[in-house]
């Protein structure tokens, strides 16, 4: 009798545990943001400064970087966040400069790049961060050892 009671309690507790885990994963799946069709964008076309112009590409970079910041996906390269690239580009456009200064974490100058290159880079970083997050939703299991990934 005690053995059957223990087995029954184990089955009930296991069922409750599994149902709680399943409901949590469903909630998490519903909270995953979709990034507004970013997965379908071609970075080479959207961020082409020669065809689109600096201001148009900068507008795209600003638009997608806001989404990246809201989802904690903002890129950082060479010690500069993507929002710093965008603000440096805006400052260069206002002052008429053709180059922007790259600053490291300690706000020291580490180099200089052209305005066009910086604009392309800001746009590509903003879109790529969102695209990689979108892609990771389906491919993350490939990185789990023993779960579909072959060595």
Print the domain residue range for 62: 38-137
In a domain, 95, yes or no: yes
What is the predicted pLDDT for the residue at 103?
A: 78
In a domain, 93, yes or no: yes
Q: Which residues contact 75 (CB under 8 A, 6 or more apart)?
A: 68, 81, 82, 125, 126, 128, 129
Q: Decide if pLDDT at 27 tops 70.
A: no
Looking at per-residue confidence, does 144 or 9 come out higher? 144
In a domain, 97, yes or no: yes
Q: Decide if pLDDT at 10 tops 70.
A: no
- The count of structural domains within the chain is 1
In a domain, 112, yes or no: yes
What is the predicted pLDDT for the residue at 28?
A: 43
What is the predicted pLDDT for the residue at 119?
A: 92
Among residues 31, 35, 61, 36, the alpha carbon closest in space to that of 46 is found at: 61
Q: Decide if pLDDT at 62 tops 80.
A: yes
In a domain, 4, yes or no: no
What is the predicted pLDDT for the residue at 120?
A: 93
Average pLDDT on 94-107 reads 83
In a domain, 132, yes or no: yes
d(CA 96, CA 61): 20
In a domain, 60, yes or no: yes
pLDDT band at 139 (very low <50, low <70, confident <90, very high): confident
| Cross-strand partners of 99 | 114
d(CA 57, CA 62): 9
């Amino acid at each position: 009798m005690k053995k059957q009671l223990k087995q029954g309690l184990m089955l009930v507790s296991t069922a409750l545990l599994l149902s709680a885990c399943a409901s949590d994963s469903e909630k998490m799946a519903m909270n995953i943001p979709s990034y507004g069709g970013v997965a379908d964008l071609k970075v080479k076309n959207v961020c082409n400064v020669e065809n689109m112009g600096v201001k148009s590409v900068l507008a795209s970079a600003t638009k997608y970087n806001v989404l990246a910041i809201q989802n904690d996906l903002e890129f950082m390269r060479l010690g500069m966040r993507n929002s710093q690239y965008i603000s440096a580009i805006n400052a260069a456009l206002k002052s008429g400069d053709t180059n922007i200064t790259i600053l490291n974490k300690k706000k020291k100058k580490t180099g200089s790049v052209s305005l066009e290159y910086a604009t392309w880079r800001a746009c590509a970083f903003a879109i790529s961060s969102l695209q990689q997050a979108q892609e990771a939703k389906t491919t993350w299991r490939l990185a789990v050892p023993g779960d579909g990934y072959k060595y």
